[in-house]
Amino acid sequence: MLFKLPLGNVRRSLRDYTIYFFTLLIGVAVFYVFNAIESQAAFLHISASTRQIVVLMMNVLSGVSVFVSCVLGGLIVYASRFLMRRRKKEFALYMTLGMSKGKVSAILLTETLMIGILSLVSGLLAGIGLSQLMSALVVKMFDADMTSYQFVFSAPAAVKTLIYFGLIYVVTMIFNAGAVGRFKLIDLMSSDKKAEVQKMKKPVVCVIVFLAAAVMLGYAYYKVAFDFGSIEDEWIMLVYIAMGGAATFMIFWSVSGMLTRLVMSSKRSYYRGLNCFTYRQIGSRINTMVISAGIICLMLFVTICTFASAFSLKSSLENSINRNAPADMNILISDVSENTPQDVVSVMRSAGIDPDEYLSEYVVVHEYTSGDINGDAFFGDYMEEAGKEMEHLFIGGVAEEMMYVSEYNRLAGLYGLEQLTVGDDEYAVAGNFAETIRARNIPLSHGHELTIAGRTLKPAYSECRLGFDMISNTDINTGIIIIPDSLTFGENDLARKATLLAGNYKAQSKADKRSIDSLFLNARDRIDTVLSEHADPDGRSAVYIMNTRLDLTDSAVGLGAFATFIGLYIGIVFLISCGAILSIKALSENIDSIPRYDILRKIGADEKDIDRSLFRQTGIFFLLPLLLAGIHTIFGMKFALNVLGVFVTTDEMLPGMLLTAAIVAAIYGGYFLITYFCGKNIIKSKM
């Protein structure tokens, strides 16, 4: 009996359980898929540094998994509350028949258990299937070989899923049992006789609140997206974010009152078909859930931003490396004292990495500083104007780096950069860091003259030329002054700052490149030893930086993959939460509205019209938070790019944005459709 009843219940109310089941299923599947990444990555041929990133990523993912299970747990408790609400009458019947609360609890428990087991099994199966798709993504993300693909079942991930969701179900059951304990028969029996009090907000107040919210939002948008430079304190930032958040809630509050008024103002459309009913319903719906609509809108906003930036990060990092690391390796030894070895080639030889043996081509160039050539001299009278372009940098007293034009051109030749022409009384600037370039362009465009080593030089170009000395993973060169070869300095006027060697590996295949690369990276300790042999009397030895293209690529790939997976994980769970909460809200509203639909039928409304009304209600209900989140996103993304200082072109953003739209459409849209069809069932005619 105690088994037959719940089984029958589950089968009968399968439709009610759809949302619950769907949410659980996606939750379980997503949980498994992301925890199985480790097992998949284990089969990949990836470099040691990427492997380290995988390990780090898995640690973060397990941390996120705890958070995710809390979110899903909360969601499941919320969903089961909805199911109980729907069935109060049924419980009342059991209790009037003399069933004890314990028995009712037991029935509920068995039902939860059945749905739990069913969803866990199907979720795991879906997860195992999906994780094969995920393998392809893992392979692509880590730039590994697709040939190493094989069917992977991750036992640890499956066990983890079972344990976490087992715990979630236990918590849900405890909550349900607690709720049953608080049942009062009279409340259960009269649960559907609730008088609805329709409160109409004053339209004037609504308009004022709406305008205030729009102004607040517009101001915050303008500040974070277009006037980013003027933000000096970090707490000001928080104020803008808080303004945006508050404005979101205010908009939902006022829209609920205004929407109906707005449609009402057009008498013709308001009194067409079921329109007046539809908009009243929507108005009262939003009215009762200003807070949750606001939270959902903000969650959607965070989700979309997370997706879009995570997806764009990888491609933007890769593009940036292709731009900024055109050579296989370089090494830069900074001078600290007289003792610093002058010859970088012999240092490398002593460290066992002879450039002649391992590099097919290389150039050695030098960078200099001269005592009085600093930021103040460079910017001169334009200091104040230029300063506005560089809020976060102050380079006034910092000595400028200089390179002779012939040396720079040799380096530029290796890098495939533009060759510069600098006359005897001219100078040029090469750099690629956006902010300082804008600043440096100001004196350059005014033909600002520099006096170096007693000679007055004027700009050879009216703006900075694109260029850099070290290979790197991002546009980071703040500008090097390129001086004519004929310029000679006095004995104490010129200081050598650094020696740079850049070159390409003597290798044909990718594998050869890898092995030479690890040879260079492993020589780091030996270079340190060689340099310390040349330490000055105070014990200071020269500092060096060695970058290799493969090393930079590996960390970029790892970082890109890291961001993508974490972003996907959190984003999908947020999406599920938004969809499920909205869905449950909409369905319980539908349940409350059953008598209204019956009235509509009695006075002769067409089923088609009723369906259309429900579709519109559900659609606007889902669309409104998404719409506002979309507007938030446009400005939020601009802000995010500003903060990160990442240079991302629209072309680079587009695929990520499309992918984001696809995922949101699939999950959020899926919830919308399920809600609509479940709603249709709920209000279905009983005549």
Partner 1 sequence: MELLRIQNVEKYYGSRSSLTKALDDISFTVEQGEFTAIMGASGSGKTTLLNCISTIDTVTAGHIFLEQTDITTLRGSQLNKFRRDKLGFIFQDFNLLDTLTAFENIALALSIQKRDEKETSKHVNEVAEQLGITDVLQKYPYQMSGGQKQRVASARAIVTDPKIVLADEPTGALDSRSAKLLLERFNYLNKEVGTTIMMVTHDSFTASYASRVIFIKDGKIFHELNRGDNTRKQLFDKIIDVVTLLGGDVSDAL
Interaction site with partner 1 (CB under 8 A): 195-198, 267-269, 271-277, 280-281, 284, 596, 598-600, 602-607, 609, 687
Rg (C-alpha) for the chain, rounded Å, is: 33
Cα 638 to Cα 655: distance, rounded to the nearest angstrom: 17
Select from 331, 335, 315, 334 the least CA-distant residue to 323.
315
For residues 287 and 199, the answer to whether their CB atoms sit within 8 Å is yes
Cα 348 to Cα 517: distance, rounded to the nearest angstrom: 14
In the complex, the smallest distance separating the C-beta of residue 289 from partner 1, rounded to whole angstroms, is 16
Task: Find all residues with CB under 8 Å of 556, minimum gap 6, and list them.
Answer: 317, 318, 320, 321, 473
Identity of the residue, 614 or 667, whose beta carbon is nearer to partner 1 in the bound complex: 614
Identity of the residue, 392 or 686, whose beta carbon is nearer to partner 1 in the bound complex: 686
Cα 502 to Cα 469: distance, rounded to the nearest angstrom: 9
Helix (H, G, I), strand (E, B) or coil at 505: strand
Identity of the residue, 528 or 609, whose beta carbon is nearer to partner 1 in the bound complex: 609
Burial 319-358, CB ≥16 within 10 A → b, else e: ebbebbbbbbbbbbbebbeeebbeebeebbebbebebeeb
Side-chain half-sphere exposure of 136, counting CA atoms within 13 A = 4
In the complex, the smallest distance separating the C-beta of residue 210 from partner 1, rounded to whole angstroms, is 22
Identity of the residue, 192 or 598, whose beta carbon is nearer to partner 1 in the bound complex: 598
In the complex, the smallest distance separating the C-beta of residue 593 from partner 1, rounded to whole angstroms, is 9
For residues 482 and 429, the answer to whether their CB atoms sit within 8 Å is yes
Identity of the residue, 166 or 595, whose beta carbon is nearer to partner 1 in the bound complex: 595
In the complex, the smallest distance separating the C-beta of residue 595 from partner 1, rounded to whole angstroms, is 8
Identity of the residue, 284 or 315, whose beta carbon is nearer to partner 1 in the bound complex: 284
**Strand 455-459 versus strand 543-548 pairing type:** unpaired
Identity of the residue, 376 or 611, whose beta carbon is nearer to partner 1 in the bound complex: 611
For residues 632 and 294, the answer to whether their CB atoms sit within 8 Å is no
Task: Find all residues with CB under 8 Å of 8, minimum gap 6, and list them.
Answer: none
For residues 467 and 441, the answer to whether their CB atoms sit within 8 Å is no
Identity of the residue, 196 or 234, whose beta carbon is nearer to partner 1 in the bound complex: 196
Cα 118 to Cα 483: distance, rounded to the nearest angstrom: 75
In the complex, the smallest distance separating the C-beta of residue 201 from partner 1, rounded to whole angstroms, is 14
